[in-house]
Structure 1
Amino acid sequence: MHSTTLHSDNRADVAGALAQDRWIVACLCAAWCGTCAGYRATFDELAARHPDKYFLWVDIEDHADVVGDLDVENFPTLLIQRHEDVAFFGTMLPDPNVAHRLIQAQCSMDDAELARYAQSSEERRHWQRDCNLRALLAGAS
């Protein structure tokens, strides 16, 4: 299983995939970023290691209408979400083992635990308001 790249012509398909009952792991990058270019193969490797999750690659400049207001401070930035709850939003070391452990840790939470976690700090409450990829994509359509 490989990741999906968001394009202007597949937004409806991506929105349908995001609506499914599975974890979403999105990488927010930019085409000009050398680190991102090198991380792409790692991201696809992670997708193969986690075939039950939906992996989405988003170029933040090509899709500024979707993610333009997100505070992407550095690359790569990962966004991990289940249903409407954002479990993680932040810069990730471009190391496949670190990302793998992060994905495992976040995705080990059941829905009730994730809901509590999502509201457990001001930063996480901010993620819920501003980083919900389902809502961002729907708002850009």
Structure 2
Amino acid sequence: MHSTTLQTDNRAEVAAALAQDRWIVACLCAAWCGTCASYRATFEELAARHPDKYFLWVDIEDHADVVGDLDVENFPTLLIQRHEHVAFFGTMLPDANVAHRLVLAQAAMSDEELAAFAESTEERREWQENCNLRTLLKAD
């Protein structure tokens, strides 16, 4: 298994993994969504291509207490974060190569570039306040 699925009984383990110094790539989906079901294999493929990053699958309905306030407009939605900086939050085409290029582009940023990027637009500033997975899991 290359990614972790957020479960009720592994939240402390996931929070500990998120506290590490690595990129986090989370997919926010729903069990009833057919696109999400088919995207799961693509997400696993993406995780296999990036073994240095932490991949997390989150069912937004099973874990509405964690992600319920996030504005998930469509599926799949990816959230990419390093340390306390959210680098990307949005709907992703269900295509492994598009996601791979997105992950590479985010990971190519230095900590300084990421910090500046995170504050560069109103939307990205909102991501920092509302989409930080570390903060959302601690609020548990």
Q: What one-letter code is carried by the residue in structure 2 that aligns with 1:73?
A: E
Q: What one-letter code is carried by the residue in structure 1 that aligns with 2:99?
A: A
Cα separation, 1, equivalents of 2:45 and 2:138: 28
> CA offsets, 1:114-141, max 9 Å, x none?
000000000000000000000001012x
Q: What one-letter code is carried by the residue in structure 1 that aligns with 2:70?
A: L
1:93 CA drift (Å): 0.2
Q: What one-letter code is carried by the residue in structure 1 that aligns with 2:136?
A: L
> Counterpart of 1:76?
76
Q: Percent identity?
A: 82
Cα separation, 2, equivalents of 1:137 and 1:62: 14
Cα separation, 1, equivalents of 2:106 and 2:88: 8
Q: What one-letter code is carried by the residue in structure 2 that aligns with 1:106?
A: Q
1:67 CA drift (Å): 0.1
Aligned ranges for residues 107-122 of structure 1 at < 5 Å? Answer: 107-122=107-122
Q: What one-letter code is carried by the residue in structure 2 that aligns with 1:105?
A: A
Cα separation, 1, equivalents of 2:51 and 2:85: 20
> CA offsets, 1:8-40, max 9 Å, x none?
000000000000000000000000000000000
Superposed structure 1 runs of 4+ greater than 6 Å apart: none
> Counterpart of 1:56?
56
Unaligned runs of 5+ residues in structure 1 are none
Partner SS, residue 9 of structure 2: coil
Cα separation, 1, equivalents of 2:2 and 2:51: 8
Are 2:21 and 1:21 equivalent residues in the alignment?
yes
Cα separation, 1, equivalents of 2:47 and 2:55: 6
Q: How many residue pairs end up in the alignment?
A: 140
Coordinate RMSD, CA, aligned: 0.5
> CA offsets, 1:29-84, max 9 Å, x none?
00000000000000000000000000000000000000000000000000000000
Aligned ranges for residues 1-141 of structure 1 at < 5 Å? Answer: 2-140=2-140
Partner SS, residue 10 of structure 1: helix
Partner SS, residue 37 of structure 1: helix
